[in-house]
Amino acid sequence: MLIETLTLIEQAPRLDENQLAVTFSTLAFLYLSQGNYIKAKSYYHLALDLWIKLLGFEHPDVATIFNNLAVAYRSLEAYEQATQYQEKALSIYKGIYSSEHPEVARCLNNMAAQYRDMGEYEQAEPLYIQALHMREKTLGSEHPDVANSLHGLGELYRRKGKYQEAEQFLSDALSMREKLLGTDHIDTAFTLYSLAQTYDTVDKSNLAESYYKRALTIREQIMGGEHPQTIIVMESYATFLRKRDREPEARELEKRFQLVKEKTE
């Protein structure tokens, strides 16, 4: 439907640039949510050019596009470009809002996630903590954005091998997400997966398997069986099963995601 709308707009005698920018932005977000980061960044670039023309550079909607471009490039492990766009978003937000505005905190949290993914944990931690404190101050102690920062810190500590701290922050994030968003929300699934990996590492097998199964079920229901994030959980769960000498179950799971990989290659 969006592609058809885009075609109609482009073929119109007088091009409605505002409607075209909205369509580009919507398509970009759709592809981002589907894990198609290459198409997402392409449409975000098209939207960005139009929004800057229509709104000017120093506008929150332009900053949002920069922020989402940073997410797309980070997902593609293009960290130099991601950093550039994240810094542009942060600069615009700081020029428009107060230094503790939720959008500023969102940028700081995203920058922390980027440093975490780059393995620069010492740079990531203070940014996560700063974003968490800002969010708790402006949004309250129970808010989805606060849960997001708790999750980020927990995942950071997991990767650093600080499993006790990881379990604490991830458990807090899970409780908050289940309460505020629901037990079957996609953000809940992300925290379940991080906790599964944590429990897997410290050999709490029953808990790990329970969370792997829940995370996989939610991702399949919401994202579909072919989404990259669903495949990641399948691969981790298969590895978990193989380490515990459950070879037939591991092979069965591997067949599922290998079929998906062959189809998408």
Q: What digits encode the pLDDT tens for the residues 93-112? A: 999 998 899 999 999 999 99
**Which CATH number is 60's domain given?**
1.25.40.10
- Angle value at C-alpha 112, between 43 and 238, nearest 5 degrees: 80
Same domain membership, residue 171 and residue 123: yes
Residue 189 is predicted with a pLDDT of 97
On the question of pLDDT at 265 being above 70, the answer is no
Within-domain flag for 102 = no
Does 107 fall in a domain?
no
Both 164 and 203 in one domain: the answer is yes
Question: Does one domain contain both 207 and 229?
Answer: no
Asked, for residue 52, whether it belongs to a domain, the answer is: yes
Q: Are residues 175 and 249 in the same domain?
A: no
Token pair in block for residue 168: 């604490």
Domain match, 169 and 212 both: yes
| Within-domain flag for 187 | yes
pLDDT at 246 over 60: yes
How many Å apart are CA 193 and CA 170, to the nearest integer? 10
Q: Which two tokens stand for residue 78?
A: 């293009």
| 154 and 82 in a common domain | no
Please state, in angstroms and rounded to a whole number, the distance separating the CA atoms of residues 157 and 65.
Answer: 29
The count of structural domains within the chain is: 3
> Does 11 score more than 90 pLDDT?
no
Same domain for 128 and 161, yes or no, is yes
- Residue 255 structural domain: 223-265
The token duo for 67 is 């922020």
Comparing CA positions, the residue from 204, 210, 207, 260 lying closest to residue 232 is: 260
Look at the pTM and tell me if it is higher than 0.75: yes
